[in-house]
Amino acid sequence: MLRYALSRLTSLAISLAVASVVIFLVVEVAPGDPASYMLGINAQPDTLAALRSELGLDVPKITRYFNWVTGMLAGDFGMSYTYRTPVSQMISDRLWVSLPLALYALGLAVLIAFPAGVLAAARRGKTSDISVMAATQLGIALPNFWFAMLLVLFFAINLRWFSAGGFPGWSYFPSAIKALTLPAVALALPQAAILTRVLRSALLDTLHEDYIRTARAKGLTRRQTLWRHALRNALIPVLTIIGLQFSFLLAGAIIIEQVFYLPGLGRLVFQSISQRDLIVVESVVMLLVFAVILVNFLVDLAYAAVDPRLRSRA
Amino acid sequence: MTLLNIRNLSLSIHGTPILRDLSVSIAPGEILALTGESGSGKSMTALATMGLLPQGAETTGEIALNGTDLLQLSEPQMCNQRGNTIGMVFQEPMTALNPLQTIGHQVAETLRLRRNGEAPMTPASARDLVRDTLTRVGLPPEKVPLTRFPHELSGGQRQRVVIAMAIIRRPALLIADEPTTALDVTTQAQILDLLRDLVRDFAMGLMMITHDLAVVSQIADRIAVLRKGEIVEQGLTDDVFRQRRHPYTRALFAASRHRAQLCDVPVHEPLLRVQNVSRDYPMKRTGLFQPRPRFRALKDVSFDIRRGERLGLVGESGSGKSTLTRAMLGLDPVSGGQITLDGRLIDVNNPATRRKMQVVFQDPYSSFNPRHRVARLISEPFHLMDDAPTAAARDAAIAEVLTAVDLSPSDGAKYIHAFSGGQRQRIAIARALITRPELILFDEAVSALDVRVRAQILDLIADLSRRYGLSYLFISHDLSVVRGITDRVMVMQAGEIVEQGPTDQVFDAPSHPYTRKLIAAAPRLPAFGDEALSTDRGMT
């Protein structure tokens, strides 16, 4: 198991190094000079040069890359070109919204998907299965921003249970959770629908396996067989999807953040790109890449925890 | 006194009749073999007794176990019977165990169920019983700890675990559905011994389902022959084997001991030469900077196949048969030595050598693309030929090979799902024949077929070798099949050819201990009367 974890960890480190080079190159190659953008069209050449040297844009690219990477390793992400505040501060503010939101949404998705998927698989072809499948169709088909607006209309404007948007900060704990609830529901629903379908089909596959018949021959009831033997065997594809969904929720919530006026990472990236705030873009993208790779690593560990065959291989 | 009494059992699934008016009984300590070809209803009889029939099944009649009609029990009552009064052992030990749970856990599971409202066994006493039972089936926990996972065990060991699971509550009735079909002969012999001992010790009844008459003759007290859901003949094993009243029983028997008529061929120059071939596979590193250890799957293997010769290759799983086949086809590189066909090195990228050698695989169901018509499937090897026939000549070639394997030229327009297992194997042979190869490899080509179909395919192979002057290498784990279809045989063990020689000589007077062990372990059909002695040169 330790050997397996180490080998996964090595591949994690290599992926990160490669990703940092790619991100740096892509952002640097993109047209648009932050200094001229900040000073406007009529800037004087010497002012421009001064700003460029102040921002550290005049040193060779390779040096900038190493400054950037070593800075990040030390927790220093540099200064935002636009706001002149430390990037690390900006990111951590936003991360404290995006990360809880992603976890909240994923938790909801899993809570909905597991009972629904198990129910649908256990009663294949019966009314409950057909209703669950119809509901998942709907969940996948509905655009989540539209669903988010419906939620706002109903729960915020009509019932006044929640506020329509904004985020009060974590010092107001219950209301912070409350502010994240509608966005989390809007994000979770399509993910729950996908997860339900994956779990159902994975369970149906495992229910055809020979060891399920063996378990029945031992005297286990249908239900016991499903919970004790089929579910864990069906987990591998489900874990893969959960990993993908978490990465998506962390970075891809931009539309929902927009609908609910949440100061999340998605909006930060969007603003920084439009303002040519390259250093922020680089750092946020790097952070997201790190998150995705880390989640994949955790999913790999989860595979090994579920399946002893992976543990002994490494 | 009877233990299990099945009376007038009829079964249909979604309206299709599967079993008709079936009546058999088993006494305590008795072994009843249900035998017949695939689709005869053997397994369905077992599943009906277990109450595990597929959806849409309707039954009439009675299955009485110790006087209780199992068909009248509710599902919860049946759950109390399963694993408790009836245990079951399945065919595929590789897939019958949950890969994510330890063997100890899986064997103990049935003890921890609440039965008839009684409290389940305490974990400590359950563990003791699991240890005793695993020791009884030949897996003492000192040697095979309870914490092992199924993938860490061999096929025979897994089957012992499955047997331990089935007998741990001392069921009155044990059902074994082809329990040894997936195992090697030596392992099969051990498992059959174990089952026989358990039946005697525990006074269990055993319903043994098998297609293999030789296995039946070794283990069963009584035998029931099924055909299309009906019992055509049943009685004491000796009587049934001696008398063979029903024509179907006679046909099964004849097919089981069938030997193809091989014509005599003059000895020619070598066609294929395998010289000092070895093949290594890298294994897991033992340490980060250690070199990878290597597993030697083939050790210095040398042999020739002469033109017109029919050579057999036998050995147990893991002996290197498949590695050798892959190397001969050029699919795997060799680590040392060389393989030449007609004096030229085998090369997977050289169509000239490839078209001279074709292969027929075991599984008639998965070796064809289901979306192509048969004509396209069998003409595929044409891409190996520079001068492949086109248009009318191509159609004529397809028609010719289809006729050669006793199918009709019009079958070329059909899809593969329209054919039975035996017909598919004919199509596979047609595909191999179409480039007029000089050598065909038959890799377990008849192992998945019923005995009567197998006999027909063996006749076809013998006939084709005569008509086309074919040489072939016939690879099989089944010694009796190899004996009936080859001139010369090689025995492989752990990557080495330990014995080779004329087939009859090797089988009648094996010189290597491993060959002797294989032949001793292989179940034998008893020979009754003169007919057996005159038509068969002995069976293995």
| Residue ranges per structural domain of chain A | 34-76, 87-310
Q: Which of B260, B266, B270, B265 is nearest to B439 (CA)?
A: B270
**Distant-in-sequence, close-in-space partners of B177: CB < 8 Å, separation ≥ 6:** B42, B43, B46, B88, B89, B90, B91, B209
In angstroms, what is the C-alpha Rg of chain B? Answer: 25
**Distant-in-sequence, close-in-space partners of B125: CB < 8 Å, separation ≥ 6:** none
Which chain A residue has the Cα nearest residue B110? A218
Which chain B residue has the Cα nearest residue A7? B288
CA distance A96 to A173: 13
Q: Are residues B212 and B353 in the same domain?
A: no
CA distance B238 to B301: 44
Can you give the residue range of the structural domain that contains B148?
98-170
Helix, strand or coil for residue B381? helix
**Distant-in-sequence, close-in-space partners of A63: CB < 8 Å, separation ≥ 6:** none
Residue B373 is given by DSSP the state B
Hey, what are B330's tokens? Answer: 């050029």
Hey, what are B186's tokens? Answer: 């030596």
Q: Are residues B440 and B422 in the same domain?
A: yes
Mean pLDDT of B264-272: 80
Q: Are residues B233 and B151 in the same domain?
A: no
Which pLDDT band, with edges at 50, 70 and 90, does B515 fall under?
Answer: very high
- Give the domain-ending residue among B205, B235, B257: B257
pLDDT above 80: residue B471 = yes
Whole-structure pTM value: 0.82
CA distance B151 to B443: 26
Q: What is the pLDDT of residue A215?
A: 92
Which pLDDT band, with edges at 50, 70 and 90, does B516 fall under?
Answer: very high
Instruction: Assess A10–B contact: CB distance below 8 Å, yes or no.
Output: no
pLDDT above 70: residue B204 = yes
Q: Which residues of B touch A215 (CB under 8 A)?
A: 98, 109
- pLDDT tens per residue across span B385-443: 777 777 888 888 899 889 888 888 889 888 888 888 888 888 999 888 888 888 999 98
Hey, what are B300's tokens? Answer: 């210095």
Q: Are residues B58 and B116 in the same domain?
A: no
Residues paired with residue B282 on neighbouring β-strands, in sequence order: B294
Nearest CB neighbour to B50, from listed A217, A232, A314: A217
CA distance B534 to A233: 56
Q: Are B395 and B459 in contact (CB under 8 A)?
A: no
Mean pLDDT of B141-149: 90
How many Cβ atoms sit within 10 Å of the Cβ of residue A39? 16
Q: Which of A131, A112, A113 is nearest to A123 (CA)?
A: A131
Q: Are residues B360 and B431 in the same domain?
A: yes
Which pLDDT band, with edges at 50, 70 and 90, does B288 fall under?
Answer: low
Q: Are residues B437 and B416 in the same domain?
A: yes
Q: How far apart are the first and last CA of chain A?
A: 8
Q: Are residues B154 and B211 in the same domain?
A: no
Q: Which of B514, B487, B495 is nearest to B302 (CA)?
A: B495
% of chain B exceeding 70 in pLDDT: 96
Helix, strand or coil for residue A104? helix
Q: What is the pLDDT of residue A31?
A: 67
Q: Quick check: B109 and A217 CB within 8 A?
A: no
Instruction: Assess A306–B contact: CB distance below 8 Å, yes or no.
Output: yes
Q: Are residues B231 and B367 in the same domain?
A: no
Can you give A276-291 as a three-state secondary structure string? CCHHHHHHHHHHHHHH
**Number of domains within chain B:** 3
How distant, in Å, are the alpha carbons of B362, B526, B527 from that of B187? 21, 21, 24
Q: Which residues of A touch B90 (CB under 8 A)?
A: 210, 213-214, 217
CB pairs < 8 Å spanning A and B: 76
CA distance B302 to B316: 19
Q: Which residues of A touch B75 (CB under 8 A)?
A: 221
Q: Is residue B7 part of a domain?
A: yes
Helix, strand or coil for residue A49? helix
Q: CATH number of the domain at B381, please.
A: 3.40.50.300
Can you give B76-121 as a three-state secondary structure string? HHHHHHECCCEEEECCCCCCCCCCCCCHHHHHHHHHHCCECCECCC
Which chain B residue has the Cα nearest residue A314? B284
Q: What is the pLDDT of residue B348?
A: 76
The phi and psi torsions of B58 (rounded to 5 degrees) equal: -125, 135
Q: Which of B98, B116, B207 to mutate against chain A (most A CBs within 10 Å)?
A: B98
Instruction: Assess A210–B contact: CB distance below 8 Å, yes or no.
Output: yes
- Give the domain-ending residue among B476, B497, B518: B497
Q: Quick check: B113 and A214 CB within 8 A?
A: no
Tally of CA atoms within 13 A in the half-sphere of B231 that contains its CB: 19
Q: Quick check: B83 and A233 CB within 8 A?
A: no
Nearest CB neighbour to B82, from listed A210, A218, A313: A218
Q: Are B456 and B445 in contact (CB under 8 A)?
A: no
CA distance B332 to B205: 49
Helix, strand or coil for residue B445? coil
- Class of residue B325 by CB neighbours under 10 A (exposed 0-12, middle 13-18, buried 19+): buried
pLDDT above 90: residue B265 = no
Q: Is residue B511 part of a domain?
A: no
Roughly what angle, to the nearest 10 degrees, separates helices B185-202 and B155-167?
10
Q: Tell me which residues of chain B have a C-beta less than 8 Å from any C-beta of chain A.
A: 50, 52, 75-76, 79-84, 87-88, 90, 92, 95-101, 109-110, 113, 115, 149, 151-152, 162, 165-166, 284
- pLDDT tens per residue across span B240-258: 888 888 999 888 888 888 8
Q: Is residue B508 part of a domain?
A: no
Nearest CB neighbour to B79, from listed A213, A221, A229: A221
**Average predicted confidence (pLDDT) for chain B:** 87
Q: Quick check: B109 and A220 CB within 8 A?
A: yes
Q: Quick check: A214 and B96 CB within 8 A?
A: yes
Nearest CB neighbour to B100, from listed A217, A218, A307: A307
Lowest-confidence range among A36-45, A188-197, B149-158, B361-370?
A36-45
Q: Is A221 left (phi over 0), alpha (psi -120 to 50) or beta?
A: beta
Q: Quick check: B100 and A312 CB within 8 A?
A: no
- Class of residue A284 by CB neighbours under 10 A (exposed 0-12, middle 13-18, buried 19+): buried
Q: Is residue B523 part of a domain?
A: no
**Distant-in-sequence, close-in-space partners of B290: CB < 8 Å, separation ≥ 6:** none
Q: Quick check: B87 and A306 CB within 8 A?
A: no
Nearest CB neighbour to B95, from listed A211, A220, A307: A211
Q: What is the DSSP string of B284-349?
A: --SSTTSPPPEEEEEEEEEEEEETT-EEEEE--TTSSHHHHHHHHHTSS--SEEEEEETTEE--TT
Q: Is residue B480 part of a domain?
A: yes
How many Cβ atoms sit within 10 Å of the Cβ of residue B176? 27
Which chain B residue has the Cα nearest residue A214? B96
Q: Which of A12, A20, A31 is nearest to A65 (CA)?
A: A20
Which chain A residue has the Cα nearest residue B165? A218
Amino acid at B517: K
pLDDT above 50: residue B540 = no
Min Cα distance B207 → chain A (Å) is 15
Q: Which has more pLDDT, B498 or A50? A: B498
Q: Quick check: A233 and B109 CB within 8 A?
A: no
Q: Are residues B316 and B416 in the same domain?
A: yes
Nearest CB neighbour to B151, from listed A233, A306, A309: A309
The phi and psi torsions of B261 (rounded to 5 degrees) equal: -85, 105
Q: What is the pLDDT of residue B295?
A: 83
Beta strands B270-282; B294-306: pairing state: antiparallel
CA distance A107 to B91: 42
Min Cα distance A59 → chain B (Å) is 41
b/e sequence A175-214, b meaning 16+ C-beta within 10 Å: ebeebbbbbbbbbbbbbbbbbbbbbbebbbebbebbbbbb
Q: Are B368 and B392 in contact (CB under 8 A)?
A: no
Hey, what are B156's tokens? Answer: 């025979």
Q: Which residues of A touch B50 (CB under 8 A)?
A: 217
CA distance A175 to B260: 86
Q: Quick check: B96 and A211 CB within 8 A?
A: yes
Q: What is the pLDDT of residue B528?
A: 62
Nearest CB neighbour to B98, from listed A217, A224, A229: A229
Q: Which has more pLDDT, B508 or B39? A: B508
Which pLDDT band, with edges at 50, 70 and 90, does B533 fall under?
Answer: very low
Q: Is residue B475 part of a domain?
A: yes
Q: Which residues of B touch A312 (CB under 8 A)?
A: 149, 151-152
Instruction: Assess A311–B contact: CB distance below 8 Å, yes or no.
Output: no
Q: Which of A208, A213, A226, A219 is nearest to B87 (CA)?
A: A219
* Residue numbers in chain A where pLDDT is lower than 50: 314
Q: Are residues B76 and B106 in the same domain?
A: no
Min Cα distance B304 → chain A (Å) is 39
b/e sequence B334-360, b meaning 16+ C-beta within 10 Å: beebebbbbeeebeeeebebbbbbbbb
Q: Which of A127, A264, A74 is nearest to A183 (CA)?
A: A264
Which chain B residue has the Cα nearest residue A218? B83
Nearest CB neighbour to A210, from listed B87, B92, B151: B92
Min Cα distance B444 → chain A (Å) is 24
Q: Is residue B432 part of a domain?
A: yes
Which pLDDT band, with edges at 50, 70 and 90, does B287 fall under?
Answer: low
Min Cα distance B221 → chain A (Å) is 25
Q: Are residues B383 and B459 in the same domain?
A: yes
b/e sequence B244-277, b meaning 16+ C-beta within 10 Å: bebebbebbbbbbbbbbebeebeeeebbbbbeeb
- Give the domain-ending residue among B140, B170, B200: B170
Nearest CB neighbour to A219, from listed B101, B113, B152: B113
CA distance B524 to A292: 62
Hey, what are B255's tokens? Answer: 């097919």
Min Cα distance A244 → chain B (Å) is 24
Residue listed under structure tokens 């704990």: A173
Q: Quick check: B98 and A219 CB within 8 A?
A: no
Q: Quick check: A309 and B75 CB within 8 A?
A: no
Q: How far apart are the first and last CA of chain B?
A: 37
- pLDDT tens per residue across span B309-335: 899 999 888 888 888 988 888 888 888
Residues paired with residue B177 on neighbouring β-strands, in sequence order: B209
CATH 3.40.630.10 fits A87-310, yes or no: no
Q: Which of A211, A213, A309 to mutate against chain B (most B CBs within 10 Å)?
A: A211
Q: Are residues B435 and B328 in the same domain?
A: yes
> Which ipTM score applies to this complex?
0.80
CA distance B156 to B99: 16
How many Cβ atoms sit within 10 Å of the Cβ of residue B189? 20
Q: Quick check: A219 and B151 CB within 8 A?
A: no
CA distance A150 to A131: 22
Q: Which of B449, B450, B526 is nearest to B252 (CA)?
A: B450
Hey, what are A145's tokens? Answer: 């921003």
Which chain B residue has the Cα nearest residue A306? B100
